[in-house]
Structure 1
Amino acid sequence: MAAKLIIHSPDQQGRRRVRYDGVAIGVAHRPADVRAFLAAAGMENAEDVDLTDPDFAEWGRPRGVGTASLACLPVQVETSRGPPHPAGAERVIPR
């Protein structure tokens, strides 16, 4: 079974594109951003989801970098249209 949550490799600024169930839901700077996007997508108990469960989440990462590295990325506040998101997170607006 393929993971429903895809967290792509970080870009040059350390941001990771996030997809859930095939839909782009945001660009994360830290795990809390991913959980906030999941909650906004309607997932109940998103704050309790195990982001390290390979059956649920697939992480794209450069060799030697684990999921813990996402927690220490610098925060960049960017604005976008749509509902509020955690500081430093961007919302992807589907076209």
Structure 2
Amino acid sequence: MATDRPVVVYPPDEEGGRRVRVDGQISGRAYSLGDVAAFMQEAGLQSFDEMDVVRSALIEWRGGGPETWTD
């Protein structure tokens, strides 16, 4: 399924991390909303914080929403 959202947060792995893809490139693994916010900031959205991550329509959450950090 294709998406027009530039950020994808994948399901949690066995260690509780979630891969984060920004504009087609894997940015790293997030263990919290703060980590996702940091990836967004690195991508140029410097003012993004944890609440922006929760509310943003730019992010596609797979395998659970922003409250899911364990598999």
Q: What is the TM-score of this pair, normalised by structure 2?
A: 0.75
Q: Which one has the bigger strand percentage? A: 2
Q: Is the 8 A contact 2:36 2:53 kept in 1?
A: no
What is the Cα-based RMSD across aligned positions, in Å?
2.0
How far residue 8 of structure 1 moved from its aligned partner, in angstroms, is: 0.4
From 13, 16, 22, the equivalent of 2:18 is 16
Counterpart secondary structure, 2:21: strand
Structure 2: gaps (5+ residues) = none
Q: Deviations over 1:49-91 (max 9, x none)?
A: 24344x3111111xxx442133xx6xxxxxxxxxxxxxxxxxx
Give percent identity, aligned residues only.
Answer: 30
1:1-95 → structure 2 map (5 Å cutoff): 2-47=4-49, 49-53=52-56, 55-61=57-63, 65-70=64-69
Q: What is the TM-score of this pair, normalised by structure 1?
A: 0.59
For this pair of structures, how many residues does the alignment match?
A: 67
* Larger Rg belongs to: 1
- Structure 2 letter corresponding to 1:23: Q
